[in-house]
């Protein structure tokens, strides 16, 4: 599921509020795979580089993604 949401963000250039919420829920439930984590690191890098814009304003997802990136 996470990879589909990340792929959608790369296709549209935007990360929707809904997608951010779904990603957060999947991370909390710990029902993800290693490939999902790799996709999230790429997403984080793309957001930091300005390649993907965020509709949401919460910093919560970025904090989680940064922790994944630094791990």
Which residues have a Cβ under 8 Å from the Cβ of 13 and sit 6 or more positions away? Answer: 51, 52, 53
Q: How many domains does the chain have?
A: 1
Tens of pLDDT, residues 30-62? 888 889 989 999 998 999 899 999 887 667 777
Q: What is the pTM of this model?
A: 0.78
- pLDDT (0 to 100) of residue 69: 75
pLDDT of residue 8: 95
Domain with 23 in it: 2-70
Span 17-29, pLDDT tens digits? 899 889 888 888 8
Is the predicted pLDDT of residue 65 greater than 90, yes or no?
Answer: no
Q: What DSSP string runs through 10-43?
A: HHHSEE-HHHHHHHHHHHHHT---HHHHHHHHHH
Q: Mean of the pLDDT values across residues 59-68?
A: 75
């Amino acid at each position: 599921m996470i990879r589909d949401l990340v792929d959608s963000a790369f296709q549209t250039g935007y990360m929707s509020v809904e997608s951010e919420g779904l990603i957060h829920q999947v991370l909390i439930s710990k029902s993800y795979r290693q490939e999902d984590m790799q996709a999230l690191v790429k997403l984080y890098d793309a957001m930091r580089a300005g390649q993907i814009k965020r509709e949401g304003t919460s910093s919560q997802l970025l904090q989680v993604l940064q922790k994944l990136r630094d791990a």
